[in-house]
Structure 1
Amino acid sequence: MGFVLDTTGLPVQERVEAVHTAMMFASAPCHVIHEDPGGDVHARMEVWDLGNATIFTHRSSGIRLLRTAKLARQDAMPVIALSVQRRAQGRIEQRERQQVVPPGELLAVDLSAPYDYSWSGDGEAGCLQIPFDQLGLPIDLVRRAAPAVSASPLYRMVTDHVAHLARDPAAITGDVSAATVAAASVDLARAMLVSADRSGRHARQVYAETLLPRVRAFTRRHLADPDLGPATIAAAHNVSLRRLYQACSDAGFSLEQWIIQERLQRVRHELTQPQRRHLPIAAVARRWGFRDATHFTRRFKARYGMTPSQWRRSAEAARE
């Protein structure tokens, strides 16, 4: 279960203090300065555990988060936040470097160091917070790479991944695959930071070690593409098919079978959603890359012990 603050139900005079208290819990302790403290202050924050990392989403009226050197000295464990701006322009200043972050872009913030972060008007951001010790990298490398993450060839992949995590953290953290997603998320963050570090001392090793997490993240984002397959995946990661198959073999799994299982899970989940009950089962299957309805039904029954229509009816009966 996650932590959620929504000021909608709070009296106006209590909202400023509620946001300050929630921010102390949700992120690093900092001074919370509202753009218009006497006006329409509103906020919604969610904090969800994802393995040893944390997903934090924040939507609010104009706000400034000021972490001073004194506050920074209170934290024993350094944490890096990979934050995707979702609405309004974010502004960050850390270690004498200023950056404007438009919607859809990512910034890396060392939460254990002083910073000044803000947006004007209604804004929104979603971030993945990872303790430094989970990255397995030298602290100086992480701090050196953080301001330069946009130079990493993995920048867009990690940006899309974090944005996806922040879109529905409750569903992701509550899914049976949460532990796998957590491990892959840390691996992707680690690879991005290393590849952004201009010294390049760790890049080749980490890039190789994180091939499978990158493959899994890419595949999950493209499951709906019926043409997704080993050749497409290998080309997207600049590796040969032989190298891709070897990596999968070393990990003890079949790439093709894993893709089918991931697609089946998506269809199975969608068939339980009331808002999808009007869609024919074949249409739902096509949405997740199954071109052949007969093949899909056979695969579904072999995996779950019932046909898709039986599964949908059982889900509807459970809701009544």
Structure 2
Amino acid sequence: MVLSSPVLMPSRESAMVIWFSGLSHRGGLIRSSPIGALSHLAWSAIVFAAPCLGSVVALSTANQHTGTYRHRNCCPTVTSMVRGALWTDQSYYNGASIVESPGGCAVHVVLDTDTVDPLDRADYVHEAMGAAMVSVEWQWIDDAPAAAHGVISRLGELTVCSGNTSARRVERTPALSRDGAEPTVFINLQIAGASAVVQGGREATLRPGAMAMYDSSAPYTLHSNQGMAGEFFQISHSALALPTDVIRRACAASLAPGHPLTSLTFEHLCRLASDRTLFGTPQADLAARPHIDLLRAVILTHLGTTDKAAEPLDNTLSLRILDYAGRRLGDPELNAESIAAATFISVRQLYKVLADADVSLAEWIRTRRLERARHELAHGPATVTIASVARRNGFTDMSSFSRSFRAEYGVSPRQWRADHAASADHNRSVTQR
């Protein structure tokens, strides 16, 4: 759902926009500016980027006579980390989309320069990405307008950016690396083509399937003649929980090339980036930790400290079990025995690992199958029968599927499909007016 409902905005002369620059409420920078002093593009960047990252965004209407401020937070429930959407007139966020999660929180930021005047696109990308991730300098492919298309999402302490740009060079300069932002690392997954990462006197050339890391607290440069593209994962130093000197030793290098753990992690992170159903759910914070553990294990394996890599690898066993199960939900024969055999553990150990993670395997499989079926019924072609949808998602008995679906969602599969078809027709008619 794209939030585009207008609200009454305070006057640009009497209002301040306040935002929290940083990955969390810890270690970021409080910044504020009069709305009138913000460029159109800067306002756009702050409004659509900050909610994705759990940043505090508030409008503060100033009383010029008393010097007091009245703040309106962007989310009705303010927790230790605010996640919410600032509902604003379309003109303010200038073509960018804030996408709402099923729970009502904005967890995805969609960046699309096709909606921006070509003369403004370079500034748009510069300000938007600076607000959403870190500030960098961009150099664009000659004789081509600046272009960027992608999605930035937050999963607990993990920020995921998927997309492509026409930038041939991205540089975090020495001055920018001292801008006071919370230190973070980026993991770059090279999907296609080639690119290079330069940092700390080292340079790594990346081919498809390679992973590399670089550190925002030190200068770095990214190069690609075809334009920068791929999957990028941002993690704070504190969440990665590795000493700075260890992080620096692993930067600007292809991480553990050819190692099975690298391949497993690469494939898993690609699937995470392509299927963001966990983002914005109550389980998001818990789900992020195993991914970070996997990345830590890859880094330590690359550095040759296999003894230290063993612990995060053990910690990700439940993730790898559920990852295997999640990729085979359509198999009606999926069970504990087949999963245990595929992950080279006993059934007894499988149940113990999942119990420690507070996961019931049968319930987890049933719930994920229902979620996939619900999504297909809402968004798939109406010509596909409900029975086909059920079978494709591992249900062999139609009556059992219907009972489980009604118990989980309160309506029958047929009614769910009809309700969403009616909603889609209504949205189309509103758009055409």
Q: Distance in 1 between matches of 2:127 and 2:275?
A: 24
| Farther-moved stretch of structure 1 (127-136 vs 199-208) | 199-208
The amino acid across from 2:127 in the alignment is: T
1:8 aligns with 2:114: yes
Q: Secondary structure at the match of 2:203?
A: strand
1:93 aligns with 2:198: yes
Instruction: Give runs of aligned pairs for residues 50-199 of structure 1, distance below 5 A.
Output: 50-145=155-250, 147=253, 148-150=255-257, 152-167=259-274, 169=276, 171-175=277-281, 177-199=283-305
The amino acid across from 1:192 in the alignment is: V
137, 144, 147: which one aligns with 1:39: 144
1:316 aligns with 2:410: no
- The count of aligned residue pairs is 317
Q: Distance in 1 between matches of 2:220 and 2:359?
A: 43
Aligned to 2:13: none
Unmatched 5+ residue regions in structure 2? 1-105, 427-433
Kept in 1, the 8 Å contact 2:184–2:236? The answer is yes
Structure number with bigger Rg = 2
Aligned to 1:21: 127
356, 370, 373: which one aligns with 1:264: 370
If asked which structure has higher relative contact order (CA below 8 Å, sep 6+), I would say 1
Q: Secondary structure at the match of 2:214?
A: strand
Q: Secondary structure at the match of 1:278?
A: coil
Q: Distance in 1 between matches of 2:153 and 2:296?
A: 20
Aligned to 2:324: 218
Q: Distance in 2 between matches of 1:113 and 1:151?
A: 28
1:8-52 deviations in whole A, cap 9, x for unaligned? 13222222222222232233322211121x433322243222222
Q: Distance in 2 between matches of 1:75 and 1:232?
A: 50
Q: Distance in 2 between matches of 1:291 and 1:102?
A: 43
Q: Secondary structure at the match of 2:190?
A: strand
Kept in 1, the 8 Å contact 2:328–2:334? The answer is yes
TM-score, normalization by structure 2: 0.65
Q: Distance in 1 between matches of 2:359 and 2:129?
A: 42
1:248 aligns with 2:360: no
Kept in 2, the 8 Å contact 1:153–1:192? The answer is no
Kept in 2, the 8 Å contact 1:107–1:149? The answer is no
What RMSD over aligned residues (CA atoms) do the two structures have, in Å?
2.7
The amino acid across from 2:307 in the alignment is: R
1:231 aligns with 2:348: no
Q: Distance in 2 between matches of 1:135 and 1:32?
A: 27
1:30-84 deviations in whole A, cap 9, x for unaligned? 2211121x43332224322222221122312242112233322334532121222
Change (3 A) 1:270 1:183: farther
Change (3 A) 1:288 1:176: farther
Change (3 A) 1:299 1:4: closer
Q: Distance in 1 between matches of 2:145 and 2:348?
A: 58
TM-score, normalization by structure 1: 0.86
The amino acid across from 2:188 in the alignment is: S
Q: Distance in 2 between matches of 1:276 and 1:249?
A: 38
1:283 aligns with 2:388: yes
Change (3 A) 1:196 1:288: farther
Q: Distance in 1 between matches of 2:126 and 2:358?
A: 48
The amino acid across from 2:266 in the alignment is: T
1:301 aligns with 2:367: no
1:74-119 deviations in whole A, cap 9, x for unaligned? 3453212122233432222223332222344432222322222122
Change (3 A) 1:23 1:252: closer
Q: Distance in 1 between matches of 2:178 and 2:133?
A: 15
